[in-house]
Amino acid sequence: MTREYQDSNDPTIRDLSASSALSRELLAIHNRSCGTMFRTTAFVLAGLFILGVIGFVVKIITDGPEDKASWGYHAAVFAFIITTASAAPIVAIAPRMVKAHWRRSISRAAELWAVVGVLSLVLFLPLLAVLPSLADGRRTFWFYHPGEVPEFTPHVWTTLAILGLTVLGLALVWMSSLPDMALLRDNSSGWKQGMARRLAFGWKGTSRQWFIQKHRLGILGAFYFMMLVFAHFMIVADFLMPLVPGWIDALFPATHAFNGLQAGIATVLITMFFLRKYGGYRDYIGIDQFRSMGKLLLATSLLWVWFWFSSFNVLWYGAKPSEQAVLELLMVGPYLPIFLAVFVTVFIIPFFTMIWNPVRRSTWGPPLIAVSVLIGTLLDRVRLYVAAYSVPGIGDPKIDKHELHIGDVPSAVIPNVSDVLIVVGAIAGAILIYMLVTRIIPVMNIWEQKELLLYKVHKSFHRTEVQILGKPD
């Protein structure tokens, strides 16, 4: 009698019971059949993606790779996806490194965006044909010596950077989901069980496997972050800045990479909102997650204006003719309306709304501001890449490759039907890939939620009860 009473109140038994109940609940949410809204959304996104493929085929037939200016919008949407989807996993990687508990509910949702890197790689490949080799006399930051440096050196290094980012992203998702796929393998049936059996890779949950998983996850996260910065640098240094003569800005590659941090946070915020409202995770994604992410969005909005002004300051006070022409092209000339829209949506709106606690500490405020940031990020990529690809002389050695004159600044390039289809189709394809992956891999990190049970306890404090969280070693 006494032993039964003691066993029923044993903390270890209570933890095991709570862990089992948590696993059953999250597996039930993941294994439930797709609702009408999910299927309808998936079909609409698939239709838009097919239209984007049609627009791409039309562009190849009508323009071909020779018309460089017509590929500006394709380059812009590629950079937009790299800036948003590929940067979203940093929201899981950075808080995990500092052992923050609030990120446990959203870490998997952020990591799954790394799978969209496959689409980024596909979008990048046509740009290799658009950008001439070094032997064609195009502008470049590379030192080119015929016979000593291969003429396709920039293409090779940038391709390897994006390929490496994609592979690291897939490896990060797989390593993070190993315990959950083993759980799904043992508690599901049909095609999900077969898929989970392959992805679980013989996971049994031994102490050695947990040790390896924890450390490999940290290593992959660190390498993913470094490769993300390197990929941004290679894209900017070869597929953007050299296309505009006189655009010399040592800070801009870092600015381009930082824009990814802000846009990645915005991407995860919107993902959190939909998972909470329509995904069945209201009990797991709450005020703590939105408030913490809101602080990060506010901080990155302030840093955005610092990065922008640091680059603008150099060009403005340098006042060389080539620098004035760069400002005319990118900010105060034909793309002035887009630049003003970017400034408002990426800095003004986030800063002057997120400083208010009622907005930041809500489940609707940060996602709403995140929509503004993503719109501004897309417009910013259009402003930069469309303007750069419209400058004549990308592969013509007769045109000055060192200075752009104000009188030679091209007018704004208006998107045609194929451009619109490519942009909309690529964004729809990225969202579609994410949605389909959530049907295979649980979007809620189950093993991290179970681990949290070991670090939290509720204790009485005066007339109330408080939750105490421990800090892992």
Q: Please give the single-letter amino acid code of residue 49.
A: F
| CB neighbour list of residue 141: distance below 8 Å, 6 or more residues apart | 237, 238, 241, 242
Which distant-in-sequence residues (6+ apart) come within 8 Å of 89 by Cβ? 110, 111, 113, 114, 169, 172, 221, 224, 264
Asked if 426 and 75 count as a contact pair (C-beta separation under 8 A), the reply is: no
Q: Which of 452, 451, 450, 444 is nearest to 112 (CA)?
A: 444
Q: Is-contact 91 461, C-beta < 8 A?
A: no
Answer yes or no: pTM beyond 0.85.
yes
Q: Could you give the CA distance from residue 115 to residue 169 in angstroms, rounded to a whole number?
A: 6
pLDDT in tens, the chain (473 residues): 333 333 444 444 445 678 888 888 998 888 887 888 999 999 999 999 999 999 999 999 998 888 888 899 999 999 999 999 999 999 999 988 888 888 899 999 999 999 999 999 999 999 988 888 777 777 777 777 776 777 777 888 999 999 999 999 999 999 999 999 999 998 888 888 888 899 898 899 899 999 999 999 999 999 999 999 999 999 998 899 888 888 888 899 999 999 999 999 999 999 999 999 999 899 999 998 999 999 999 999 999 999 999 989 888 888 788 888 889 999 999 999 999 999 999 999 999 998 888 888 899 999 999 999 999 999 999 999 999 998 887 655 556 556 777 777 888 999 999 999 999 999 999 999 999 999 999 999 999 998 888 887 777 877 787 777 777 76
